[in-house]
Amino acid sequence: MFKKLDILIIKSFIGPFVVTFFISLFVLVMQFFWLYMDELIGKGLSIWTIVQLLVYMSATLVPLALPLSVLLASIMTFGDLGENFELVAIKSAGISLLRFMRPMMAFVGGITLLAFLFNNNAIPVANLKALSLLYDVRNSKPTLNIKPDQFNNDLQGYAIRVGSKDEDGFTIHDILIYDHSDPYGNNKVVVAKQGKMIPTADKRALIFRLEDGWRYEEQYEHGTHATGLPQVRMHFARWDKVFMLPEFTRTNQDLFKNAILMMDAKQLYDTIDSMDEKKGTPGKAVNSYMSPYLTLSNKLKEDTLLTKKMATVTAKPIVYEDNFLEVVDSNKRAMVMQTVSNNLRNLKSLMDNNCLNEKLQADNYIKFSVEFHRKFALSFACFLLFLIGAPLGAIIRKGGLGLPLVFAVFFFITFHILNITGEKLAKSGSLPPWAGMWMSSILLLPIAVWLVNTARNDSQLLNKELYVRLWRRIKAYFTKKDKAIAR
């Protein structure tokens, strides 16, 4: 009997989980596409490049889509069982809610483990592919977009201006082309009354089919401008000028491999461990920075020549009332002050650099620690949100995408806001990295325990009739009080 119930609950969960996972992932990917739409449009990217970027970004968004889909699917599953009175039948047979949830806990525990393995092994690779491709897309030049009465410099070595453009987008008038591709400078100019812009079939070149125009070219000799040489002018009835469009190129991905987002948990842990060993190194170097400038605090070795000479001096120490400059010759005081000023300036610069280096080390330590705990915290979120969703579904006793979706969105937004807030507090140094990244789980875990306990006791927490009866009692109480006052 128990095996049949276990299979029933798992089968009831798998369907909503798969559907909600892909819906959540699709919504998150569309959000990414909407944010970066301006950077993707107008750059001549192939459909395959855009598909690659969306696939890689989909993989990076899986850790966020999994907790949401687990939460929504668990509310829908247990809500549907409660709505069809299957939970009542199961409890009447003497099976507790926790026993009924046990197979689901094991199944979601497996999802949590797979989520960690995916976060640890697949996400660094997906981040490498996605972020390197996004970097190349951001830095690629836009395709040629010529606007009337504006010079366009998208094509390297050329400046193009058209007086007007017809509604078809291809026919242009009053064309002026400056050719800067020659190493001698702007010595070629093309002027035409009208023409057409014709892209090639492979989109790699753009043909300007010009009509009724002139080509001007100044002559140069031996790398210098010869004043006596004539200017060449040539009229054409029709002339095709071919421009090669800038191609989308990829950067070597090895340049991104050492970034934080491209590391797994072991690499992050090893980096954090090495940072722990180096912690405080900049502070320890302060003495070595200061010793060349603070000579009075230096200990002299007994076998040095200066120490031996000082031992033979029997003169009394010099006593001065106001300042040290009294014992310095007047003609050397300016030089002494300049030396002191330079030493203090150099010492301040060394201290500033040392403080900046120590701050950078502290910031990097926090960033690596945050990323290390993120891999575990987001994976555990799947199990935590299941502990919230399953008892919540049993309490509301509603299936489908109505009320369960409202509660799922509310708890997920709460989790997401707490997660972002904790991460920002950790990165700012207000909280330790582990506390910031686990803050959402720590705050929501008591709610999950309370919901499980409430569902076990068949609470009427979300029963509409309970609140209707409560309202009637409150209304009757105040009605009696009004009658008593009226008397």
DSSP one-letter string for 363-432: HHHHHHHHHHHHHHHHHHHHHHHHHHHHHHHHHH---TTSHHHHHHHHHHHHHHHHHHHHHHHHHTTSS-
Residue 210 pLDDT exceeds 70: yes
Judge whether 191 and 174 are in contact, CB under 8 Å: no
Q: Please tell me the distance from the alpha carbon of residue 277 to that of residue 48, in angstroms, as a whole number.
A: 46
Judge whether 440 and 415 are in contact, CB under 8 Å: yes
Across residues 268-276, what is the average pLDDT? 85
Least confident of 10-24, 62-76, 286-300: 286-300
- 190-198 long-range contacts, CB within 8 A, separation 24+: 190/214, 190/215, 190/216, 190/241, 191/216, 192/239, 195/171, 196/170, 196/171, 196/172, 197/146, 197/169, 197/170, 197/172, 198/170
Q: Please count the other Cβ atoms lying within 10 Å of the Cβ belonging to residue 267.
A: 16
Q: Please count the other Cβ atoms lying within 10 Å of the Cβ belonging to residue 196.
A: 15
pLDDT of residue 439: 92
Judge whether 394 and 78 are in contact, CB under 8 Å: yes
Q: Please tell me the distance from the alpha carbon of residue 474 to that of residue 476, in angstroms, as a whole number.
A: 5
Domain ranges of the chain: 2-140+372-474, 158-244, 280-369
Judge whether 214 and 235 are in contact, CB under 8 Å: yes
In sequence order, which residues have a C-beta less than 8 Å from that of residue 344 and are 6 or more positions away?
293
DSSP 120: I
pLDDT digits (tens, 9 = 90+) for 473-484: 777 777 776 666
Across residues 156-184, what is the average pLDDT? 82
70 burial (CB, 10 Å; 0-12 / 13-18 / 19+) is buried
Judge whether 243 and 155 are in contact, CB under 8 Å: yes
Top-confidence range, 77-86, 268-277, 330-339: 268-277
Phi, psi of 205 (to 5 degrees): -140, 160
pLDDT digits (tens, 9 = 90+) for 219-266: 766 555 555 567 788 888 888 888 876 666 666 777 777 778 888 888
In sequence order, which residues have a C-beta less than 8 Å from that of residue 12 and are 6 or more positions away?
77, 80, 81
Helix axes 403-427, 62-83, angle to 10 degrees: 150
Copy the structure tokens of residue 266: 């072991």
Least confident of 64-68, 176-180, 225-229, 465-469: 225-229
Best CA proximity match to 370, nearest among 445, 282, 263: 263
Please tell me whether the overall predicted TM-score, pTM, comes out greater than 0.75 for this model: no
pLDDT of residue 280: 61
Best CA proximity match to 198, nearest among 210, 184, 181, 190: 210
pLDDT digits (tens, 9 = 90+) for 438-457: 999 999 999 888 888 887 77
Q: Please tell me the distance from the alpha carbon of residue 449 to that of residue 238, in angstroms, as a whole number.
A: 81
Copy the structure tokens of residue 432: 């330790």
AA letter at 226: A
